[in-house]
Amino acid sequence: MDINTLFFVESSLFFLFGLTMLVNSLANPGLRGAYWFVASNLAGGVALSLQGARAHLPVTIGIVLSNLLFVTQLVCLNRAVTAFLGRMERMWIAVLGVCMVGMCGVAYFSLVHPDIGVRVAVISAMMAAPALMTAWVLFGPAAPGVRTASRLLGSVFLFFAAVTSVRGYAVYRFHVPSFYFIWLDLIVIAGIAFGFIWMSAAQLREDLERQAMTDPLTGVLNRRAVEREVVELLQRSAKTGGTISALMLDMDHFKGINDRFGHHGGDKALLAVTHAIRRSVRGTDLVARLGGDEFMVVLPDTPMEMARMIAELIRGEVSSLRVQTETHQFQVRVSVGITTLVGQIVGLEDLIKQSDRALYEAKAAGRNRVFPSGEFEPAFMA
Protein backbone atom coordinates (compact mmCIF):
# COMPACT_ATOMS: atom_id res chain seq x y z
CA MET A 1 0.00 0.00 0.00
CA ASP A 2 1.53 3.33 -1.04
CA ILE A 3 1.52 6.51 1.01
CA ASN A 4 -1.25 8.21 -0.94
CA THR A 5 -3.56 5.25 -0.38
CA LEU A 6 -2.84 5.46 3.35
CA PHE A 7 -3.73 9.16 3.30
CA PHE A 8 -7.08 8.33 1.73
CA VAL A 9 -7.70 5.55 4.26
CA GLU A 10 -7.04 8.02 7.08
CA SER A 11 -9.30 10.64 5.52
CA SER A 12 -12.07 8.05 5.20
CA LEU A 13 -11.77 7.31 8.92
CA PHE A 14 -12.05 11.02 9.70
CA PHE A 15 -15.20 11.33 7.59
CA LEU A 16 -16.68 8.17 9.10
CA PHE A 17 -16.12 9.26 12.71
CA GLY A 18 -17.27 12.79 11.92
CA LEU A 19 -20.52 11.58 10.40
CA THR A 20 -21.03 9.12 13.27
CA MET A 21 -20.72 11.90 15.82
CA LEU A 22 -22.94 14.17 13.72
CA VAL A 23 -25.74 11.59 13.75
CA ASN A 24 -25.19 11.05 17.48
CA SER A 25 -25.33 14.81 18.09
CA LEU A 26 -28.55 15.25 16.13
CA ALA A 27 -30.13 12.45 18.16
CA ASN A 28 -28.80 13.89 21.45
CA PRO A 29 -28.65 17.70 21.08
CA GLY A 30 -27.45 18.14 24.67
CA LEU A 31 -23.96 16.79 23.92
CA ARG A 32 -21.44 19.52 24.73
CA GLY A 33 -18.71 20.14 22.18
CA ALA A 34 -19.97 17.49 19.76
CA TYR A 35 -20.32 19.79 16.76
CA TRP A 36 -16.78 21.06 17.25
CA PHE A 37 -15.63 17.44 17.17
CA VAL A 38 -17.59 16.88 13.95
CA ALA A 39 -15.95 19.98 12.41
CA SER A 40 -12.48 18.78 13.45
CA ASN A 41 -13.00 15.38 11.79
CA LEU A 42 -14.33 16.88 8.57
CA ALA A 43 -11.43 19.36 8.41
CA GLY A 44 -8.96 16.53 9.01
CA GLY A 45 -10.60 14.38 6.34
CA VAL A 46 -10.38 17.11 3.70
CA ALA A 47 -6.78 17.88 4.71
CA LEU A 48 -5.69 14.26 4.32
CA SER A 49 -7.52 13.99 0.99
CA LEU A 50 -5.51 16.97 -0.26
CA GLN A 51 -2.33 15.37 1.08
CA GLY A 52 -3.14 12.18 -0.81
CA ALA A 53 -3.72 14.07 -4.04
CA ARG A 54 -0.94 16.63 -3.64
CA ALA A 55 1.11 15.13 -6.48
CA HIS A 56 -1.58 16.41 -8.83
CA LEU A 57 -2.15 19.73 -7.05
CA PRO A 58 -0.23 23.03 -6.80
CA VAL A 59 1.95 23.38 -3.68
CA THR A 60 -0.30 26.11 -2.28
CA ILE A 61 -3.21 23.65 -2.24
CA GLY A 62 -1.57 20.27 -1.64
CA ILE A 63 0.67 21.42 1.19
CA VAL A 64 -0.20 24.89 2.48
CA LEU A 65 -4.00 24.59 2.32
CA SER A 66 -3.99 21.03 3.64
CA ASN A 67 -1.90 22.07 6.66
CA LEU A 68 -4.16 25.07 7.22
CA LEU A 69 -7.01 22.56 7.46
CA PHE A 70 -4.95 20.55 9.96
CA VAL A 71 -4.70 23.75 12.01
CA THR A 72 -8.49 24.05 11.85
CA GLN A 73 -8.76 20.44 13.00
CA LEU A 74 -6.51 21.00 16.03
CA VAL A 75 -8.32 24.18 17.06
CA CYS A 76 -11.72 22.49 16.75
CA LEU A 77 -10.52 19.46 18.71
CA ASN A 78 -9.31 21.66 21.54
CA ARG A 79 -12.56 23.62 21.44
CA ALA A 80 -14.56 20.37 21.55
CA VAL A 81 -12.71 19.11 24.62
CA THR A 82 -12.87 22.38 26.56
CA ALA A 83 -16.56 22.85 25.71
CA PHE A 84 -17.29 19.30 26.80
CA LEU A 85 -15.48 19.69 30.13
CA GLY A 86 -16.78 23.24 30.61
CA ARG A 87 -13.45 24.84 31.52
CA MET A 88 -10.50 26.65 29.92
CA GLU A 89 -12.78 27.39 26.97
CA ARG A 90 -10.56 30.22 25.71
CA MET A 91 -7.52 27.96 25.29
CA TRP A 92 -8.40 27.60 21.61
CA ILE A 93 -7.08 31.14 21.10
CA ALA A 94 -3.64 30.05 22.34
CA VAL A 95 -3.85 26.90 20.18
CA LEU A 96 -4.73 29.06 17.17
CA GLY A 97 -1.78 31.36 17.90
CA VAL A 98 0.66 28.43 18.04
CA CYS A 99 -0.74 27.00 14.82
CA MET A 100 -0.59 30.33 12.98
CA VAL A 101 3.10 30.69 13.86
CA GLY A 102 3.62 27.16 12.55
CA MET A 103 1.71 27.92 9.38
CA CYS A 104 4.05 30.83 8.65
CA GLY A 105 6.93 28.34 8.81
CA VAL A 106 5.07 25.83 6.60
CA ALA A 107 4.39 28.51 3.98
CA TYR A 108 7.99 29.74 4.05
CA PHE A 109 9.60 26.29 3.71
CA SER A 110 7.10 25.29 1.03
CA LEU A 111 6.95 28.39 -1.18
CA VAL A 112 9.90 30.68 -0.45
CA HIS A 113 12.69 28.30 0.57
CA PRO A 114 11.48 24.71 -0.03
CA ASP A 115 12.95 22.28 2.48
CA ILE A 116 11.01 19.09 3.19
CA GLY A 117 12.94 18.18 6.35
CA VAL A 118 12.50 21.56 8.03
CA ARG A 119 8.90 21.79 6.86
CA VAL A 120 8.04 18.41 8.45
CA ALA A 121 9.78 19.47 11.66
CA VAL A 122 7.76 22.69 11.77
CA ILE A 123 4.51 20.82 11.07
CA SER A 124 5.35 18.29 13.79
CA ALA A 125 5.98 21.01 16.35
CA MET A 126 2.83 22.83 15.23
CA MET A 127 0.75 19.69 15.85
CA ALA A 128 2.47 18.42 19.00
CA ALA A 129 2.04 21.65 20.98
CA PRO A 130 -1.78 21.83 20.67
CA ALA A 131 -2.01 18.10 21.45
CA LEU A 132 -0.09 18.67 24.71
CA MET A 133 -2.32 21.65 25.57
CA THR A 134 -5.45 19.58 24.97
CA ALA A 135 -4.05 16.70 27.03
CA TRP A 136 -3.45 19.15 29.88
CA VAL A 137 -7.15 20.03 29.86
CA LEU A 138 -8.18 16.37 29.77
CA PHE A 139 -6.01 15.45 32.77
CA GLY A 140 -7.56 18.25 34.83
CA PRO A 141 -10.69 17.99 37.02
CA ALA A 142 -13.62 16.15 35.45
CA ALA A 143 -16.99 14.84 36.59
CA PRO A 144 -16.74 11.34 38.13
CA GLY A 145 -18.79 9.79 35.34
CA VAL A 146 -16.44 10.98 32.57
CA ARG A 147 -13.10 11.00 34.43
CA THR A 148 -11.87 7.62 33.14
CA ALA A 149 -12.76 8.43 29.53
CA SER A 150 -11.19 11.88 29.90
CA ARG A 151 -7.91 10.40 31.18
CA LEU A 152 -7.86 7.85 28.35
CA LEU A 153 -8.42 10.52 25.72
CA GLY A 154 -5.70 12.63 27.35
CA SER A 155 -3.32 9.67 27.05
CA VAL A 156 -4.16 9.39 23.34
CA PHE A 157 -3.29 13.07 22.84
CA LEU A 158 0.01 12.54 24.69
CA PHE A 159 0.75 9.57 22.43
CA PHE A 160 -0.08 11.69 19.39
CA ALA A 161 2.26 14.45 20.58
CA ALA A 162 5.04 11.90 21.15
CA VAL A 163 4.59 10.24 17.73
CA THR A 164 4.46 13.61 15.97
CA SER A 165 7.60 14.85 17.74
CA VAL A 166 9.55 11.66 16.92
CA ARG A 167 8.39 11.92 13.30
CA GLY A 168 9.58 15.50 12.99
CA TYR A 169 12.97 14.67 14.51
CA ALA A 170 13.41 11.52 12.42
CA VAL A 171 12.60 13.25 9.14
CA TYR A 172 14.72 16.31 9.94
CA ARG A 173 17.72 14.49 11.42
CA PHE A 174 17.80 11.14 9.61
CA HIS A 175 15.57 11.80 6.57
CA VAL A 176 13.30 8.89 7.53
CA PRO A 177 10.14 8.96 5.34
CA SER A 178 7.07 9.96 7.31
CA PHE A 179 5.35 7.03 5.56
CA TYR A 180 6.32 4.74 8.46
CA PHE A 181 4.45 6.84 11.00
CA ILE A 182 1.11 6.89 9.20
CA TRP A 183 0.14 3.51 10.67
CA LEU A 184 0.49 5.04 14.12
CA ASP A 185 -1.66 7.95 12.97
CA LEU A 186 -4.45 5.49 12.18
CA ILE A 187 -4.37 4.26 15.79
CA VAL A 188 -4.41 7.84 17.10
CA ILE A 189 -7.36 8.83 14.89
CA ALA A 190 -9.38 5.85 16.09
CA GLY A 191 -8.35 6.46 19.71
CA ILE A 192 -9.40 10.11 19.68
CA ALA A 193 -12.72 9.31 18.04
CA PHE A 194 -13.59 6.44 20.36
CA GLY A 195 -12.39 8.41 23.38
CA PHE A 196 -14.64 11.34 22.60
CA ILE A 197 -17.59 9.07 21.84
CA TRP A 198 -16.99 7.28 25.15
CA MET A 199 -16.90 10.60 27.01
CA SER A 200 -20.12 11.67 25.28
CA ALA A 201 -21.85 8.41 26.22
CA ALA A 202 -20.67 8.79 29.82
CA GLN A 203 -21.97 12.37 29.88
CA LEU A 204 -25.37 11.28 28.56
CA ARG A 205 -25.58 8.54 31.18
CA GLU A 206 -24.67 10.98 33.94
CA ASP A 207 -27.20 13.54 32.67
CA LEU A 208 -29.94 10.92 32.60
CA GLU A 209 -29.11 9.81 36.14
CA ARG A 210 -29.13 13.41 37.34
CA GLN A 211 -32.47 14.08 35.65
CA ALA A 212 -33.93 10.96 37.26
CA MET A 213 -32.82 12.17 40.71
CA THR A 214 -33.60 15.89 40.36
CA ASP A 215 -36.81 17.88 40.59
CA PRO A 216 -37.19 19.46 37.13
CA LEU A 217 -38.54 22.80 38.37
CA THR A 218 -36.36 23.62 41.37
CA GLY A 219 -33.23 21.59 40.63
CA VAL A 220 -33.11 20.06 44.14
CA LEU A 221 -33.35 16.34 44.89
CA ASN A 222 -36.64 14.61 44.18
CA ARG A 223 -38.33 12.04 46.42
CA ARG A 224 -36.55 9.12 44.79
CA ALA A 225 -33.14 10.71 45.30
CA VAL A 226 -33.73 11.70 48.91
CA GLU A 227 -34.90 8.17 49.70
CA ARG A 228 -31.57 6.80 48.51
CA GLU A 229 -29.48 9.45 50.26
CA VAL A 230 -31.40 9.38 53.55
CA VAL A 231 -31.30 5.58 53.86
CA GLU A 232 -27.49 5.74 53.79
CA LEU A 233 -27.45 8.57 56.34
CA LEU A 234 -29.84 6.76 58.68
CA GLN A 235 -27.86 3.54 58.51
CA ARG A 236 -24.59 5.36 59.22
CA SER A 237 -26.18 7.33 62.06
CA ALA A 238 -27.60 4.17 63.64
CA LYS A 239 -24.14 2.56 63.65
CA THR A 240 -22.29 5.56 65.07
CA GLY A 241 -24.99 6.92 67.37
CA GLY A 242 -25.02 10.18 65.40
CA THR A 243 -27.70 12.83 65.37
CA ILE A 244 -29.83 13.62 62.34
CA SER A 245 -32.47 16.32 62.12
CA ALA A 246 -35.09 16.68 59.43
CA LEU A 247 -37.10 19.77 58.50
CA MET A 248 -40.44 19.47 56.75
CA LEU A 249 -41.45 22.73 55.06
CA ASP A 250 -44.78 23.63 53.53
CA MET A 251 -45.75 26.95 51.94
CA ASP A 252 -48.65 28.66 53.66
CA HIS A 253 -51.76 29.12 51.50
CA PHE A 254 -50.02 27.84 48.38
CA LYS A 255 -53.36 26.96 46.76
CA GLY A 256 -54.41 30.59 47.14
CA ILE A 257 -51.22 31.70 45.36
CA ASN A 258 -51.98 29.39 42.44
CA ASP A 259 -55.61 30.50 42.32
CA ARG A 260 -54.75 34.20 42.35
CA PHE A 261 -51.54 34.36 40.34
CA GLY A 262 -51.79 31.20 38.27
CA HIS A 263 -49.39 28.29 38.09
CA HIS A 264 -46.70 30.56 36.69
CA GLY A 265 -46.85 32.59 39.91
CA GLY A 266 -46.86 29.37 41.93
CA ASP A 267 -43.73 28.16 40.11
CA LYS A 268 -41.98 31.47 40.79
CA ALA A 269 -42.86 31.14 44.47
CA LEU A 270 -41.48 27.58 44.58
CA LEU A 271 -38.22 28.72 42.96
CA ALA A 272 -37.90 31.65 45.37
CA VAL A 273 -38.43 29.38 48.37
CA THR A 274 -35.88 26.90 46.98
CA HIS A 275 -33.25 29.65 46.70
CA ALA A 276 -34.04 30.81 50.24
CA ILE A 277 -33.57 27.27 51.58
CA ARG A 278 -30.28 26.82 49.74
CA ARG A 279 -28.96 30.13 51.08
CA SER A 280 -29.75 29.02 54.62
CA VAL A 281 -28.35 25.48 54.76
CA ARG A 282 -24.85 24.02 54.67
CA GLY A 283 -23.15 22.22 51.82
CA THR A 284 -23.55 18.85 53.57
CA ASP A 285 -27.32 19.21 54.05
CA LEU A 286 -29.80 17.55 51.70
CA VAL A 287 -32.60 19.61 50.17
CA ALA A 288 -35.48 17.85 48.42
CA ARG A 289 -38.87 18.68 47.01
CA LEU A 290 -41.22 15.85 47.90
CA GLY A 291 -44.07 17.15 45.75
CA GLY A 292 -46.32 20.17 45.38
CA ASP A 293 -45.17 22.83 47.85
CA GLU A 294 -43.63 20.37 50.32
CA PHE A 295 -39.88 20.43 50.91
CA MET A 296 -37.65 18.32 53.14
CA VAL A 297 -34.24 19.29 54.48
CA VAL A 298 -32.07 16.60 56.10
CA LEU A 299 -29.35 17.89 58.42
CA PRO A 300 -26.62 15.35 59.28
CA ASP A 301 -24.87 15.65 62.66
CA THR A 302 -27.29 18.35 63.76
CA PRO A 303 -28.97 18.42 67.20
CA MET A 304 -32.44 19.86 67.74
CA GLU A 305 -31.34 23.35 68.83
CA MET A 306 -29.11 23.86 65.81
CA ALA A 307 -31.83 22.48 63.53
CA ARG A 308 -34.26 24.97 65.04
CA MET A 309 -31.84 27.83 64.32
CA ILE A 310 -31.53 26.72 60.69
CA ALA A 311 -35.31 26.39 60.42
CA GLU A 312 -35.80 29.91 61.78
CA LEU A 313 -33.19 31.20 59.35
CA ILE A 314 -35.07 29.61 56.45
CA ARG A 315 -38.40 30.97 57.69
CA GLY A 316 -36.91 34.48 58.00
CA GLU A 317 -35.36 34.29 54.52
CA VAL A 318 -38.66 33.22 53.01
CA SER A 319 -40.61 35.91 54.88
CA SER A 320 -38.37 38.58 53.38
CA LEU A 321 -39.07 37.42 49.81
CA ARG A 322 -41.06 39.49 47.37
CA VAL A 323 -42.09 37.34 44.41
CA GLN A 324 -42.64 39.37 41.27
CA THR A 325 -44.93 38.28 38.44
CA GLU A 326 -45.63 40.27 35.28
CA THR A 327 -48.41 42.25 37.00
CA HIS A 328 -48.21 41.60 40.74
CA GLN A 329 -45.85 41.27 43.65
CA PHE A 330 -46.63 39.03 46.59
CA GLN A 331 -45.09 37.56 49.75
CA VAL A 332 -44.77 33.94 50.74
CA ARG A 333 -44.58 32.24 54.11
CA VAL A 334 -43.60 28.76 55.25
CA SER A 335 -44.33 26.56 58.22
CA VAL A 336 -41.62 24.18 59.41
CA GLY A 337 -41.76 20.98 61.44
CA ILE A 338 -38.56 19.53 62.97
CA THR A 339 -37.67 15.96 63.94
CA THR A 340 -34.39 14.86 65.50
CA LEU A 341 -33.03 11.30 65.73
CA VAL A 342 -30.16 10.16 67.92
CA GLY A 343 -28.80 6.80 66.79
CA GLN A 344 -32.25 5.42 66.04
CA ILE A 345 -33.02 2.95 63.26
CA VAL A 346 -36.05 4.22 61.36
CA GLY A 347 -37.30 4.24 57.81
CA LEU A 348 -37.65 7.33 55.63
CA GLU A 349 -41.43 7.09 55.65
CA ASP A 350 -41.44 7.08 59.44
CA LEU A 351 -39.17 10.12 59.45
CA ILE A 352 -41.50 11.92 57.05
CA LYS A 353 -44.57 11.03 59.13
CA GLN A 354 -43.00 12.36 62.33
CA SER A 355 -41.86 15.55 60.60
CA ASP A 356 -45.29 15.95 59.03
CA ARG A 357 -46.86 15.73 62.46
CA ALA A 358 -44.63 18.58 63.69
CA LEU A 359 -45.47 20.54 60.53
CA TYR A 360 -49.18 20.08 61.19
CA GLU A 361 -48.68 21.47 64.68
CA ALA A 362 -46.92 24.51 63.24
CA LYS A 363 -49.81 25.18 60.88
CA ALA A 364 -52.38 24.60 63.63
CA ALA A 365 -50.56 27.14 65.81
CA GLY A 366 -51.06 29.89 63.23
CA ARG A 367 -48.64 29.15 60.33
CA ASN A 368 -45.42 30.99 59.47
CA ARG A 369 -43.66 29.36 62.41
CA VAL A 370 -41.29 26.57 63.40
CA PHE A 371 -42.48 23.66 65.52
CA PRO A 372 -40.04 21.08 66.96
CA SER A 373 -41.42 17.60 67.61
CA GLY A 374 -40.78 15.74 70.85
CA GLU A 375 -38.85 12.51 71.16
CA PHE A 376 -39.20 10.19 68.21
CA GLU A 377 -42.30 8.16 68.97
CA PRO A 378 -42.08 4.35 69.19
CA ALA A 379 -45.11 4.05 66.94
CA PHE A 380 -42.91 5.23 64.10
CA MET A 381 -40.00 2.96 64.85
CA ALA A 382 -39.00 0.69 61.95
Residues 268-295 have pLDDT tens digits of 999 999 999 999 999 889 999 998 999 9
* Whether residue 143 has pLDDT greater than 70: yes
Q: What is the pLDDT of residue 381?
A: 37
* Whether residue 183 has pLDDT greater than 80: no
* 370-372 and 334-342 beta bridge pairing: parallel
Q: What positions carry a catalytic annotation? A: 293
The mean per-residue pLDDT over the stretch 340-352 comes to 76
SS3 138: helix
Bridge partners for 299 per DSSP: 245
Domains 3-213 and 223-380 share a fold: no
pLDDT tens string 214-239: 898 998 999 888 888 887 887 777 77
The fold adopted by the segment(s) 3-213 is: Rhopdopsin 7-helix transmembrane proteins (1.20.1070)
pTM, 2 dp: 0.66
Vertex 367 angle, CA 363 and 373, to 5°: 50
Cα separation, 297 vs 247, in Å, equals 5
Q: What is the pLDDT of residue 147?
A: 86
What are the contacts of 68-72 at 24+ separation with CB within 8 A?
A: 68/103, 69/43, 69/44, 70/43, 70/44, 70/123, 70/127, 71/96, 71/99, 71/100, 71/102, 71/103, 71/126, 72/39, 72/40, 72/43, 72/47
Q: What is the pLDDT of residue 80?
A: 92
pLDDT tens string 84-130: 888 899 999 999 999 999 999 999 998 999 988 898 889 889 999 99
Does 145 or 49 have the greater pLDDT score? 49
pLDDT tens string 34-89: 899 999 999 988 988 888 887 788 888 888 898 899 899 999 999 999 998 888 99
What letter represents residue 176's amino acid? V
The fold adopted by the segment(s) 223-380 is: Alpha-Beta Plaits (3.30.70)
* Whether residue 376 has pLDDT greater than 70: no
Q: What is the pLDDT of residue 2?
A: 67
Bridge partners for 247 per DSSP: 297, 338
* Whether residue 206 has pLDDT greater than 90: no
Q: What is the pLDDT of residue 268?
A: 93
Point out the least confidently predicted range of 11-15, 23-27, 259-263.
23-27
Q: What are the residue ranges spanned by the domains of the chain?
A: 3-213, 223-380
